[in-house]
Amino acid sequence: MVFFFLLGLVGFMIYGLSDGEGALILASIISGVFFACFLILFAIYWIGYLLKGHAIWLAERQAGSDGPSVGQQPEE
């Protein structure tokens, strides 16, 4: 994730330093792709972090009630 962020910054710096129109288009495409990869990986990381926290919360809740969670009937 950090790697794609840094590559996006490098692409953005190349975009700022380039003079030709072809180089501007190429640098903007490359930096856009790297930032898009960064955003996708960032979203995946935070979704996983939230799901992990939810699983911990759910396990603590079930352990505290000495059985299945509230509103559920035990299987027979």
* 54 token code pair: 């939810």
Residues 6+ apart with CB under 8 A from 69: 58, 61, 62
Is pTM beyond 0.75? Reply is: no
Please compute the mean of the pLDDT values over residues 26-55 and round it to a whole number: 90
Instruction: Give me the residue spans of the domains in the chain.
Output: 2-62
- Give residue-wise pLDDT tens across range 47-60: 999 999 999 999 99
